[in-house]
């Protein structure tokens, strides 16, 4: 097999030769030799602790000797005959397509598209395996298949680790998946982001000082020391650079030193220098005893020198699998030798694109790769093979300081020592709550805008409905005020829609590998929302209660305030549930506004319960606005000291007789008294608060029952939010 002959080395520089020993010593940790295993974070942490205690450094104790041979690999991830197809939706068009389309060789006549076709290979610890190919070749699909992000019903083939079939529960604990997008909280610093990741992934048995030391070692390993105190940033806040952000994303997933690390195009969108630094970090991670598998679009020459194994894909088929050093010989035998001064991967990708445009596609290259693999099979038989069982290999890695989230007892060698979650339920809640509050408190303008909106709305209502009287018009105005006030509390909760949507993919990334439980996230999400809702409710109630002239005194204000708080709670829970179902902000806002409008329509304000058609009455009882609306109406009109809202002469108001002289109204009252056999004077109370409630159809529930039903709606929607996260955030392809 031919090899590219490297150019002769340049003559030694006498000045540099004097400084070379010092340079090699200073760069030993940053660029470890490729033939030796790099120190894990656990090793680095042990060196720091020993130095602090002035204890002579001794080699770490190994349960099993993992470095006796350069060809021995404790972990080998093998995948055999991976095949994955999806059903395409039929597109109906009235006019035939006029554009020229490229051949689609992976689409079958029955409407199924093959994304992976009989892919096999293996990845070893200490090495980086890169999956290359053009857009749509199946790179990300292969990474998802290996990372168990495709349902087992759809994916054919097997994935094993040291010969044992990988179970989803075990893979979640021993692996990490770095998405293509950098999903981080914008207002946290680099150090805080990694520290919170350590709180999630490192067990409770680790002291605070050990976690901090581990984070500091990771910051140095990632080359982020200069940016440690800089916030991540977003579109509105300046933060770290793109390359630093990518390394932070990697750091959050390797804080516990996973055995297997998957990355989906980690160099995408980065300049050449930043991309090289990212892959250099991945090389150090691999050399610490991890299997690193990543997809990459088009690596530079420098990045190619860091990769150990390449898989080229074309429309889901393997067109090359082997070491980068084998590329020249492979394509030379195929009849397309790589020019001496050309980037090997660029040449291979360009050739693959040219073949894809031909009628037969890359079939010739796929067939040649199969024959080439068979021809070189004998040479690969003496390659690396795992000498340890999966059980012993995991135990040995734990003893070296890797997979620290899986250590219940470092001396244990059973796989049951790898728990599903690193921390107990209450510990997860504390960390999630602290992180959310830290991120929110650095953006006070968000709460400030909500507070201003509530105060402005309350001030407008207070000035429009200022000091309402007890006349018949005052009754109508009170009813209108309560209907608008209660519906406003729900509409102002629509701002909660983007809150979870911004965290959605962070949540999916973290829960995909058991950083914390979904239930703890839901509970904390509800608890940390209460202080702001409490403050907003108090501000709205204090602004409107006395200005409008509502009844009940201090007890009436207390119930009015609690009802507004319950409305905010129910509305916030409802919007939060919808944010767990709808993944787009604009669609979410449209759905929220529409459903809240229906709630107001069926609340009983526009049409009383007795007048609602039977086939719509069910919506009346589902209306969130109904219960707080009825509660505050009873708080206003059903008081211990009965109030009169319509007296004898006022009964003609809002009727055609309201315009006649007062003397005529008095005569009409006398005639009515004689006819009815009862005395109705101009001051006789005709309509009380109880009568108003009956006219509104409010006769079924007491005001406190309305309050508790509103609170119960909030808990119900939080439970639905949990179910939406439980079943809707699996992040697996079908």
Q: Using an 8 Å Cβ cutoff, are 212 and 195 in contact?
A: yes
Of 498-502, 560-564, 636-640, which has the strongest mean pLDDT?
560-564
Whole-angstrom CA distances from 246 to 83, 249, 519, 650 are 31, 5, 29, 74
Element (H, E) at 687: strand 685-688
**Domain extent at residue 117:** 76-85+113-182+262-373
**Do residues 401 and 390 touch, judged by C-beta distance below 8 A?**
no
Residues 363 and 442 in one domain: no
Q: Do 568 and 717 lie in a common domain?
A: yes
Let me know whether 339 and 446 are in one domain.
Answer: no
Does residue 338 sit within a domain? yes
- pLDDT for residue 415 is more than 60: no
- Give the model confidence (pLDDT) of 56-65 as tens digits: 333 333 332 3
The confidence score (pLDDT) of residue 25 equals 34
598 shares its domain with 460: yes
User: For the residues 506-520, what does the mean pLDDT come to?
Assistant: 86
Contacts of 671 (CB under 8 A, 6+ apart): none
Residue 97 has pLDDT above 80, yes or no: no
User: Within a 13 Å sphere around the CA of 660, how many CA atoms are in the beta-carbon half?
Assistant: 13
Q: What is the pLDDT of residues 391-408, one digit of tens each?
A: 777 777 777 766 655 444
Short-list 566, 583, 614, 609, CA closest to 695: 609
For residue 400, tell me if it sits in a domain: no
Last-in-domain residue among 373, 402, 419:
373
Please tell me whether residue 179 adopts helix, strand or coil conformation.
coil
Percent of the chain at pLDDT exceeding 70: 82
As a whole number, the mean pLDDT across the chain is 81
Greatest alpha-carbon pair distance for the chain in Å reads 127
Q: Which residue has the higher pLDDT, 202 or 729?
A: 202
pLDDT at position 403 is 64
Please check the confidence at residue 334 and state whether its pLDDT lies above 80.
yes
Reading the block at residue 680, the tokens are 């109705």
Q: What is the pLDDT of residue 26?
A: 36
Handedness of CA 369, 374, 378, 381 (dihedral sign): positive
CA atoms 142, 143, 145, 146: torsion sign? positive
* pTM > 0.75: yes
Convert the pLDDT of each residue in 431-485 to its tens digit. Answer: 999 999 998 888 888 888 899 999 999 999 999 999 998 888 888 899 999 999 9
185 vs 584: CA distance, rounded Å: 19
Q: State the DSSP H helix or E strand holding residue 175, giving kind and residue range, or none if neither.
A: strand 175-178
pLDDT in tens, 61-84: 333 233 333 345 688 999 999 999
- Per-residue b or e along 462-486, where b marks 16 or more CB atoms closer than 10 Å to that residue's CB: beebeebebebeebebbbebbbbbb
- Looking at 354, 373, 392, the residue that finishes a domain is 373
- What DSSP string runs through 320-336? EEE-GGGHHHHHHHHT-
Pairing verdict, β 128-132 and 317-322 = unpaired
30-39, 96-105, 251-260, 532-541: range with highest mean pLDDT = 532-541
Is residue 677 very low, low, confident or very high in pLDDT (cuts 50, 70, 90)? Answer: confident
Residue 428 covered by a domain: no
Residue 54: pLDDT over 50: no
Q: Are residues 368 and 444 in the same domain?
A: no
pLDDT of residue 1: 40
User: Are residues 31 and 357 in contact, defined by beta-carbon separation less than 8 angstroms?
Assistant: no
- Give dist(CA 297, CA 449) in Å, integer: 43
Per-residue pLDDT, 343: 86
Residue 535 domain-assigned (yes or no): yes
Question: Is-contact 232 239, C-beta < 8 A?
Answer: yes
Confidence of residue 617 (pLDDT cuts 50, 70, 90): very high
Which DSSP symbol is given to 343? -
> Do 713 and 624 touch, CB atoms closer than 8 A?
yes
Q: How many domains does the structure of the chain reveal?
A: 2
Residue among 176, 336, 188, 187 nearest 257 (CA): 176
Is 706 domain-assigned?
yes
Compute the distance between CA of residue 544 and CA of residue 464 in angstroms, rounded to an integer. Answer: 10
pLDDT digits (tens, 9 = 90+) for 156-209: 999 998 888 888 888 888 888 888 888 889 899 999 999 999 998 888 888 889
The CATH number linked to 324 is 3.40.50.300
Distance of CA 76 to the CA centre of its chain: 31
Does residue 246 form part of some domain? no
Is residue 449 domain-shared with residue 366, that is, in the same domain?
Answer: no
Residue 676 counted as domain residue: no
Tens of pLDDT along 219-253?
Answer: 988 889 999 999 998 877 888 988 899 889 889 98
> Measured between alpha carbons, how far is residue 144 from residues 107, 248, 281, 543 in Å?
20, 21, 22, 54
Q: What's the helix, strand, coil split of the chain in %, to 5?
A: 55, 10, 35
704 band by pLDDT with thresholds 50, 70 and 90: very high
Is the pLDDT at 625 greater than 90? The verdict is yes
Half-sphere exposure of 134 (CA within 13 A, CB side): 16
**Cβ atoms of 446 and 536 closer than 8 Å:** no
588 and 463 within one domain: yes
Residue 48, Cα to own-chain centre: how many angstroms? Answer: 35
For residue 232, the model assigns a pLDDT of 93
* 502 and 598 belong to one structural domain: yes
Cα dihedral sign, 715-719-720-721:
positive
What pLDDT, on a 0 to 100 scale, did the predictor assign at position 668? 82
The 3-state DSSP class for residue 728 equals helix
> Domain ends where: 352, 373, 394?
373
Range in 22-36, 121-135, 370-384 the model is least confident about: 22-36
* 316 alpha-carbon distance from chain centroid: 28
Q: How far apart are alpha carbons 316 and 310 in whole angstroms?
A: 15
- Where does the pLDDT of residue 116 fall: very low under 50, low under 70, confident under 90, or very high at 90 and above? very high
What pLDDT band is residue 417 in, cutting at 50, 70 and 90? low
Contact 472, 645 (CB under 8 A): yes
Residue matched to tokens 């992180």: 435
pLDDT at 532 over 80: yes
What local confidence, expressed as pLDDT, does residue 22 receive?
31
- Let me know: does 71 contact 111? Beta carbons within 8 Å: no
Q: Packing angle between helix 626-637 and helix 703-728, nearest 10 degrees? A: 160
The phi and psi torsions of 347 (rounded to 5 degrees) equal -60, -45
Whether 384 is in a domain gets the answer no
DSSP type of residue 93: -
In total, the chain counts a number of residues equal to 734
Give the percent of the chain with pLDDT over 90.
35
Confidence category of residue 674, pLDDT binned at 50, 70, 90:
confident
């Amino acid at each position: 097999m031919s090899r590219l002959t490297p150019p002769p080395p340049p003559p030694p520089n006498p000045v540099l030769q004097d400084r070379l020993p010092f340079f090699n010593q200073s760069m030993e940790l940053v660029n470890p030799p490729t033939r030796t295993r790099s120190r894990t974070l656990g090793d680095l942490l042990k060196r720091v602790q020993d130095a602090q205690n002035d204890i002579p450094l001794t080699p770490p104790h190994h349960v099993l000797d993992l470095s006796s041979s350069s060809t021995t690999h404790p972990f080998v991830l093998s995948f055999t005959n991976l095949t994955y197809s999806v059903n395409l939706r039929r597109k109906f068009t009235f006019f035939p397509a006029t554009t020229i389309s490229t051949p689609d060789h992976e689409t079958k006549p029955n409407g199924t598209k093959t994304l992976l076709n009989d892919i096999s290979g293996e990845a070893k610890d200490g090495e980086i395996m890169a999956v290359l190919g053009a857009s749509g070749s199946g790179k990300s699909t292969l990474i998802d298949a290996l990372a168990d992000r495709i349902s087992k019903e759809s994916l054919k083939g097997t994935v094993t680790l040291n010969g044992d079939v990988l179970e989803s529960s075990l893979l979640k604990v021993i692996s990490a998946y770095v998405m293509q997008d950098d999903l981080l909280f914008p207002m946290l610093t680099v150090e805080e982001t990694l520290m919170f990741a350590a709180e999630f992934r490192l067990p409770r048995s680790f002291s605070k000082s050990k976690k901090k030391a581990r984070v500091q070692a990771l910051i140095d390993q990632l080359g982020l020391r200069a940016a440690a105190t800089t916030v991540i940033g977003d579109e509105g806040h300046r933060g770290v650079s793109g390359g630093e952000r990518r390394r932070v994303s990697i750091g959050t997933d390797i804080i516990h030193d996973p055995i297997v690390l998957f990355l989906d195009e980690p160099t995408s969108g980065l300049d050449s220098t930043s991309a090289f630094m990212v892959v250099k970090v991945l090389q150090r991670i691999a050399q610490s005893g991890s299997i690193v598998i990543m997809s990459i679009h088009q690596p530079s020459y420098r990045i190619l020198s860091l990769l150990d194994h390449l898989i080229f894909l074309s429309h889901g088929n393997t067109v090359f699998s082997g070491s980068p050093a084998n590329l020249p010989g492979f394509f030379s035998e195929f009849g397309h030798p790589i020019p001496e001064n050309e980037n090997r991967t660029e040449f291979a990708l360009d050739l693959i694109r040219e073949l894809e445009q031909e009628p037969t596609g890359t079939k010739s290259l796929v067939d040649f790769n199969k024959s080439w693999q068979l021809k070189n099979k004998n040479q690969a038989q003496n390659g690396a093979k795992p000498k340890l069982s999966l059980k012993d290999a995991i135990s040995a890695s734990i003893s070296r300081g890797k997979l620290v989230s899986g250590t219940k007892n470092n001396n244990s060698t059973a796989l049951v020592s790898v728990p599903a979650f690193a921390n107990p339920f209450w510990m997860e809640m504390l960390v999630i709550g602290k992180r959310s509050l830290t991120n929110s408190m650095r953006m006070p303008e968000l709460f400030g805008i909500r507070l201003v909106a509530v105060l402005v709305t309350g001030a407008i209502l207070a000035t429009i409905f200022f000091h309402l009287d007890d006349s018949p018009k005052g009754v109508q105005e009170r009813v209108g005020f309560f209907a608008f006030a209660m519906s406003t509390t729900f509409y102002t909760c629509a701002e909660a829609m983007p809150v979870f949507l911004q965290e959605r993919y962070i949540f999916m990334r973290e829960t995909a590998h058991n950083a914390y439980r979904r239930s703890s996230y839901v509970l904390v999400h509800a608890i940390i929302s209460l202080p702001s809702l409490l403050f907003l409710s108090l501000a709205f109630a204090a602004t409107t209660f006395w200005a409008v002239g509502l009844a009940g005194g201090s007890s009436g204000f207390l119930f009015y305030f609690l009802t507004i708080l319950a409305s905010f709670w129910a509305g916030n829970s409802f919007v939060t549930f919808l944010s767990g179902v709808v993944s787009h902000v604009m669609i979410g806002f449209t759905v929220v506004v529409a459903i809240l409008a229906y709630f107001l329509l069926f609340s009983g304000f526009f049409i009383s319960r007795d007048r609602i058609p039977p086939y719509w009455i069910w919506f009346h009882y589902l209306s969130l606005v109904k219960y707080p609306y009825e509660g505050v109406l009873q708080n206003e009109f059903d008081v211990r000291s009965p109030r009169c809202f319509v007296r004898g002469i006022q009964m003609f108001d809002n009727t055609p007789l309201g315009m006649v002289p007062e003397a005529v109204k008095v005569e009409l009252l006398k005639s009515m008294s004689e006819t009815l056999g009862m005395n109705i004077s101009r001051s006789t109370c005709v309509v009380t608060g109880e009568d108003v409630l009956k006219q509104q159809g409010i006769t079924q529930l007491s005001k406190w029952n309305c309050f508790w039903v509103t609170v119960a709606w909030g808990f119900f929607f939080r439970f639905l939010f949990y179910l939406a996260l439980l079943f809707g955030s699996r992040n697996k392809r079908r």
